[in-house]
Amino acid sequence: MEKNNNESIKKVSIICAKGSLEDVYAALVLANGAVMEGKEARLFFTFFGMDAIIKKRMNKLHTATVGNPALRMPNGSRMPKLLGLIPGVQSMVSKMMKKEMDKLDVPPVDEFLDMITAGGGEVYACKLAFDMFKLKKEDLSEHVSGILTVGEFYEKAGGEGSQIIFT
């Protein structure tokens, strides 16, 4: 949906469907940026993105090393795709990413969700994924405001000045 110059975004709803470190953080950064700019922000986690709001998994996310054509080695060269198949490489790359994020004071997932919700942002789990993965409410972070169907999410996401972002 293209906005003209007289229209501004007032509300963003971000869908996170992937559970890799880089995909989850993209959603968190966008939501936090919206909250900091005084915009309404909603996060909707579905399918493997649910790892970001499952208490036991949220701070143990990994970087995708297979099927990630943009992944680079420390020297800046592209990482050979087959290297990602070697046991331990994904953990090593994930540790390197987290180390670089720590240098920039990027908070862990739970703290990022604290900041977003403290600023008025809302976090939702997808009902389909919740049921499919046989989760219980107590499996989810306390940041989760509710478990919504897609239709319920669209109702909350709509309205004048709203944008839906899929990460």
Residue 3 in any domain: the answer is no
Residue 24 in any domain: the answer is yes
Q: According to the model, what pLDDT value does residue 7 have?
A: 65
Residue range of the domain that includes 147: 11-59+108-166
Residue 74 in any domain: the answer is no
Looking at the 3D structure of the chain, how many domains does it have? 1
Q: Where are the beta strands (DSSP E) in the chain?
A: 11-16, 40-45, 122-126, 144-148, 162-166
115-162 pLDDT, tens per residue? 999 999 999 999 999 999 999 999 999 999 999 999 999 999 988 888
Q: According to the model, what pLDDT value does residue 69 have?
A: 74
- DSSP string covering 57-78, please? TTT------SS-TT-B-TTSSB
pLDDT at 107 > cutoff 90:
yes
CA distances, 94 to each of 33, 82, 107 (Å): 24, 17, 15
Residue 22 in any domain: the answer is yes
Domain of residue 36, CATH code: 3.40.1260.10
Residue 124 in any domain: the answer is yes
Residue 143 in any domain: the answer is yes
Judged by average pLDDT, the poorest of 2-11, 99-108, 143-152 is 2-11
